[in-house]
Amino acid sequence: MAFILPKTIIREIEKRLRSFLWKGSTGVGYAKVSWQQVCQPIEEGGLGIRDLFALNRGLMSRHLWKLILGDRSSLWVNWIMHYRLREHSVWTVGDRSGSWGWRKMIHLRGVIRPYIEYWIGSGTSFLLWHDPWHEMGPLLTRFSLGPRHTSTLPMAHLSRVCGGCLELAAYYQHGEH
């Protein structure tokens, strides 16, 4: 499994890159331009050296994306679904257990969530209670065990759909329960 590199490791790698760039090998030198400028794309006047923190975060977000999509062709996704998620989804699994790398990856959920849009369609590729397809986030976190167990939401209201979204917020705001 790939993992989020600790910031101290990234800083050490970048320190060595800067040292090589400015000093050559072991000579004494000083920075002629900022490291941020060096990391800019060539088209923007930089040297095109990648920001390692952003690169690592992007690569780990890709792993998380494959997990969200349920890419069954990936051995890693199958393992995570079986041993880590079990009956949960990426969105509702706790972040307190597991390895340091797993916890760091789970923390990326908040980073990528704003860029994800759900198309419910037939409903076969998402989990109604676990996936954050509604603006309130995963319904399970909002409604605890949810109407599926507590029967606080009549079926007539569950079927009320507006523009592809359930109107659960309106239901609870107006006290119709």
The count of domains in the chain is: 2
Q: What is the mean pLDDT of residues 66-80?
A: 86
Assess whether 75 and 136 both reside in one domain: no
Q: Is the pLDDT of residue 37 over 90?
A: no
Q: Among residues of the chain, what percentage have pLDDT more than 90? A: 6
| Among 62, 89, 115, residue at a domain's last position | 115
Assess whether 125 and 151 both reside in one domain: yes
Assess whether 101 and 131 both reside in one domain: no
C-alpha closest to that of 54 among 36, 31, 72, 73:
36
Assess whether 110 and 124 both reside in one domain: no
Other CB atoms within a 10 A radius of the CB of residue 117 amount to 6
The reported pLDDT for the residue numbered 153 is 45
User: Are 48 and 42 within 8 A, CB to CB?
Assistant: yes
Assess whether 109 and 129 both reside in one domain: no
The reported pLDDT for the residue numbered 23 is 73
User: What is this structure's pTM?
Assistant: 0.62
Assess whether 97 and 151 both reside in one domain: no
Q: Which residue range forms the structural domain that includes residue 40?
A: 7-115
Average confidence score pLDDT of the chain: 76
